[in-house]
Structures are given as C-alpha cells and as structure tokens.
Amino acid sequence: MKQPEGLNNKAKKRERRVHSIFVAAISFAFLAAMVVSCAGPTPAVNRAASERFIARVNVFPLRPVSLIPVGDKELTPEDKWVCYGNWLGNNHHVCVKTEQYGCVHPRFSPNNKRLAFVAIEHHKYFVVVDGIEGKRYDVTFGPKFSPDSQRVAYGVYLAQAVNKQFVVVDGIEGKQYHCVGTPFFSPDSKRVAYSAEIGDKCFVVVDGIEGKEYRALGEQISKVAPIFSPDSQRVGYVAREGRKAFVVVDGIEGKHYDGIGPGIGCYSTAPVFSPDSQRVAYVAEVGNKQFVVVDGVEGKQYDGIKASSLIFSPDSKRVAYAAEIGDKCFVVVDGIEGKQYDGMGRGTLIFSPDSKRVAYGAYLSDRGFVVVDEIEGKQYDAIGDLIFSPDSKRVAYGAQADNKRFVVVDEIEGKQYDDIRAPIFSPDSKRVAYAAEIGDKCFVVVDEIEGKQYDAINDIGEGRVIFDLRDSLYYLAAKGNSLYLAEETIIPR
C-alpha cells in the first residue's frame, strides 16, 4: 500500500539520518555516548519497540559533569582511557584516541554525515575530512563545517615563515597575513568571514574582501568572531581605536564606548542580530557601568549585564537580558525590570516560540528555581536545560535534589535518576524526552514508563533521541560492542 507523502518524506529523512550515523560509526569505530530520557503528564502508554543492527563499534560512555556547568570541568579518565568530555557552557568537546593518529578532537558536521579533525604526523599538522588527509602544515586550527555540511574551513600557521597565517576554505588557501582568526560561515553556507592582522592594523575579511583597517579588533585578533545575520546578508563585529570600542555593522561604525561586551568563552559575541536580521543589539560599557544598545538606542545603565543573556524574541519585536545591581540579578524584558535574585542560571533566559512568554532560571542563596511569566517554581539544589514546548503552552527543565536528578514538566516532577540530560518536546507538544540513567544502564522513558536498558544511548550530533512523528521516536543504542537503531511506536492505552 502506498504511504501518504508526509510519511514517505519522514521515512526518507530517517534513512538519511541512519545512513549518516552508519558512516560515522564505520569511519571512526567509536561512539562517545550520552543519555536521554523522557517524562510527561500524558496518559500511560504501551510501546512497540524494534532494533536494527547498525555496526560493530567500540563504545565508551561519556556522561555530563554537572547539570549547571560552572567553569571548565573535565572527567578524570581511567588508566586505559579512550575518550573524555569537557563542558563549558553549552559547548561539548570530545577527545578520541585513535590507533592511526593518536588523540584527536573530532568535529561532526551539522547533518552528522561528515567528520573532520586535526591530526599530527612527523611534526606536521593536517586536517582529515571523511578519512581524506589534507595538505600538511606546521600548525592548523579548526576545522569548521558550514551549516549545510558541504564546506570546510580552517586556519594555518607556517612556522618557517615569519608571521605567515592564512585560512583554507574547501582546500583553497587564502591570502597570507601576520595573523588570522577562526573562520566563520554564514547561515546559508555561502559566505566566509574571519579577522586578520598585518603589522599593527587589523581588519575583517569577508568573502576574500578586506574591510576597513583598525588599531584593534576586540581584545585580540584571535578572539574576534565576525557575526553574520540570520539571513546571511549582514556582518557585524567589534573594533577598537585607541581606548574606545565600537560595533561595526555592514561597514558602518556605531557610537564609541569604553568597551563592548561581555562575550562567551574566548569570543566576543557582539552584535546580536534579531531573527529577522533587521535589528541589532549589543552591550556597551561606560566607566564601570554597562547597558544594552538596541538599534542605536541606549538602555538603562547597570553594574553589569550577564554574558550571553541578551536575546531577541522569535518574532524580533522583543528584547530581554539579565542585569546586575550590586550583588543582585534580575531580568529586563522590553525595558521592564523583574524581581531581584541572588543569581541567574547561565543561558537559561528564553522566549517561548510564540514570543509571548518568558522563562529563566534564578537562585536565592544556593537554591535554584525556574521563573515563568514572573511566577516562581519550586526550589531545588540545581536547575537547567529549560525549554518551552513548540505550542508555547508547556515548560520543562532538569532539576537536582539530594544528588538525584529528574525532569520537571509543568511543575510535575518525574522519577529520580542518577543522571539526566536535556528534555525535549515532541512536535505536537504532548510528550517529553530527556536524559536518564541508573547505575551503568541507560534507557528511554516515555510518559514515565522506562524502556529497554542499554549500555549507552548516543547523544552526539543527530544521534540523540528523535521524535520522528508525534507517536514515534528513535535513537542509537549500544549493547556491548554492537550499535543499534532503536525505534519505538507509542500506543496510547
């Protein structure tokens, strides 16, 4: 019987994902595993489950260090370690020890079909993409895939030549400079931008065209991240002249301030473009005060603005950020200040998909809780991974109490586990998936019913639990050295 077109499209998409996972497994014969589980207030269900063998691999479990990461955290490997995880904010880096190249840091393409890493052999560095070795250099850094997964870019340093660095895009070497920063692709994958330096002059190179020269870009050249707008048409970055800093968007300089920031990790994140690419916002500093500038209009001055907290709503009409006065923090939405707290959950401030609701994590003393539409939830030892459902009506997050972790959905606590991962909603907003394990076993939970136990459930790239349709899901699971595609159909009772 011929299936409806929608189901055929879903099946094709699933096959593409499975194929990409298979390529990754065969090419590198490793799996850094993390877990995902599910809970929600929907009715109890039966689950029709099936497994499909994918590949024989070496599986090495990799678990989260902290529900709310604070600074650099690193798992301590065993004497015969093969991989370890390092968490900083929402960035997850994996190191894998390979027989041919030793320890490498793999980069997965967005579609999970390609893998790249920097390798070293005979004191020379080179990038390996899909198993194909690139040209050898004294030093390489990166690489980065384009959003469409078709292109690769990385930086090169020639030690034998004085101050010679350049960017390689799709295997083509760019112009040599004294110093270059990390290359960045535009959202449509068609454009490339990076910072460069010649002598005491700095500038941004976009599509091979050098921009205006400045005395400095950001704090140092390697920390400049040119920002593309969501429509890929605009480019912004931070520049400095003397002791003043300012934002440059489309070659037009903004007002000069004592500083522009703060950033995330090692990169400046200014400016922030709205989803429709029409608006621009950033944090500016004058003396010991910080404030938000939106479309050239300065907001109220505060003692500080929390890093990474400045966001636009999905409809581009609203702006929110976390501010500080003294030792107190609070959220500012459309210029209106919320209640003051002792701390804010880093990266938890979000708008709902319909742009009408706001949620964030807050702390009083050492107790954390979620605030939704200015209504405080129950206090816990830690909270994180806050998310709205696609229909904007529901809220889910991870919580910790007495060294046990669980997911809270619409303020209803799920079962406690040794560990969990970030919850996700199904497309119809009725079900939730998130991370859980007991002892050394992992499993998926749907509507508070635990599924089959595995040694590991993959959560790298697109190898996580995926809701294919509102009543079906699939994920990669490992038993021993065998990797399976586990598929489940949810059957309401």
295 burial type by CB count under 10 A (0-12 exposed, 13-18 middle, 19+ buried): exposed
Q: Give tens-digit pLDDT for 6-47.
A: 334 444 444 444 444 333 333 333 333 333 333 334 444 566
Length of the chain: 493
Mean model confidence pLDDT for the chain: 77
Contact 192, 184 (CB under 8 A): yes
User: What's the CA gap between 320 and 309, in Å, rounded?
Assistant: 8
Contact 88, 72 (CB under 8 A): yes
pLDDT at 19: 40
Amino acid at 274: S
pLDDT average, residue stretch 433-454: 81
Q: Do the beta carbons of residue 450 and residue 433 sit within 8 Å? A: no
Q: Of 87-101, 186-200, 414-428, 473-487, which range is least confident?
A: 87-101
Average pLDDT over residues 140-150: 91
Q: Apex CA 108: angle with CA 103 and CA 112, to 5°?
A: 140
Q: Using one digit for the tens of pLDDT, what is the confidence trace for 157-211?
A: 887 766 789 999 999 999 999 989 889 999 999 999 999 998 888 899 999 999 9
Q: For residue 402, count other CB atoms closer than 10 A to its CB.
A: 7
Residue 222 has pLDDT above 90, yes or no: no
Residue 177 tokens read as 């400079």
Four-CA torsion 224, 182, 147, 430, nearest 10 degrees: -60
pLDDT at residue 22, rounded to an integer:
35
pLDDT band at 224 (very low <50, low <70, confident <90, very high): low
Q: What is the dihedral of CA 395, 401, 404, 409, to 10 degrees?
A: -10
60-64, 179-183, 482-486: range with lowest mean pLDDT: 60-64
Q: Note the pLDDT of residue 122.
A: 86
CB 106 within 8 A of CB 82: no
Question: What are the sequence ranges of the domains in the chain?
Answer: 1-55+437-493
Percent of the chain scored above 70 by pLDDT? 71
Mean pLDDT lowest for which of 4-18, 277-291, 391-405? 4-18
Say whether pLDDT at 54 is over 80. Answer: no
Q: What is the pLDDT of residues 437-446, one digit of tens each?
A: 888 888 888 7
Name residue 268's amino acid: S
Read off the pLDDT of residues 353-385 as tens digits, 9 standing for 90 and up. 999 999 999 999 989 999 999 999 999 999 988
What are the tens digits of pLDDT across the range 93-129? 445 555 566 666 777 777 766 778 888 888 899 998 8
Separation of alpha carbons 80 and 99, rounded Å:
13
